[in-house]
Amino acid sequence: MISAARTRRRSNSGVERALERGLRAADLERKRFERWQETPVAWPRLVGWSETTVAEKWGVLAAARLLHIARTGRDARVATRWWRGPLTERPMIAAAPVPGSAPPADTVYKVTQILAWLAGQTREVAARIEKRSQVVALARRLAHA
């Protein structure tokens, strides 16, 4: 028979390991975001990544909104859905300022903040959770583009 003290010790060691893993993961994430704050993104690179990576994953409307927010700090809705030209020239109707945006979005970190905000604006809960889970992977592709 296992004593209660021995069971508590085993239980505590599991909690301790989980806490250690969580702290390591948080430290790695902090370091990643610090790197991304220092990683510049030139406008042409941001446009290319938005037109391909973001448009493929989240659609051209989200990509157009991202570029508008990156440039102006304000959300936008498309003026017409029937646009065939480049995303950067798509007619947009400016909306409310995006909290925390700091235009121009010229670092991977700033763009990541826009991605996270856009993901949070998704109305359907399952889709919102899915998009939030994709933010870091999308940002990594930008950081390594």
How far apart are the C-alpha atoms of 6 and 2, rounded to whole Å? 7
Q: What is the pLDDT of residue 136?
A: 94
**pLDDT given at position 5:** 54
Q: Per residue in 53-100, pLDDT tens?
A: 999 999 999 999 999 999 999 999 888 878 788 878 888 899 999 998
> What DSSP designation does 98 have?
P
Could you tell me which residues come within 8 angstroms of residue 71 by beta carbon, excluding any fewer than 6 positions away? Answer: 103, 104, 105
Give CA angle at 48 (130, 70), nearest 5°: 70
Range with lowest mean pLDDT among 8-22, 38-52, 108-122: 8-22
* 120-140 pLDDT per residue, tens: 999 999 999 999 999 999 999
At 18 the pLDDT is 80
Amino acid letter for position 76: A
Are residues 132 and 117 in contact, defined by beta-carbon separation less than 8 angstroms? no
Whether 6 has a pLDDT exceeding 60, the answer reads no
Could you give the percent of the chain with pLDDT greater than 90? 57
Percentage of residues in the chain having pLDDT higher than 70: 87
Q: Is the pLDDT of residue 48 over 60?
A: yes
Buried b (16+ CB within 10 A) or exposed e, 66-96: bbbbbbbbbbbebeeeebeeebeebebeeee
The answer to whether residue 27 scores a pLDDT higher than 70 is no
The pTM of this model reads: 0.79
Alpha helices (H) in the chain, listed in sequence order:
4-38, 43-49, 55-58, 60-72, 108-120, 125-143
